Amino acid sequence: MQRLLIILGIVLLLAGLAWPWLSRLPFGRLPGDIIIERENFRLYFPLTTGLLVSLLLSLLLWWWFRK
C-alpha cells in the first residue's frame, strides 16, 4: 500500500508539473463531450473524454495486475 501511494503521489506531481503541456492535448474537447452555454450558465460534461480515460486506466490496471 505504501508503494502504491508513493507512486500515485509521484504521478500526480509529474502531471502537475507537466500541466502547461498536458492542457494542450485534445482531451476535454473531443467529439461527444457535451458543452451547453447559456447567458449566465455553462455546463461541461466530458462524456467521451471520461470513457477514454476509463478505458485507458482499465487497460493499464489489467496489465499491471496480470503480471
Per-residue pLDDT tens for 53-64?
899 989 988 888
Cell numbers that stand for 38 in this block: 447559456
pLDDT one-digit tens code per residue, 3-55: 888 988 998 899 889 888 877 877 667 888 888 999 999 998 888 888 988 99
Q: Distance of CA 21 to CAs 12, 16, 17, 25, Å?
A: 14, 10, 9, 7
pLDDT for residue 59: 94
CA distance 37 to 40: 8
Chain position carrying cell 486506466: 57
pLDDT for residue 8: 87
pLDDT for residue 13: 93
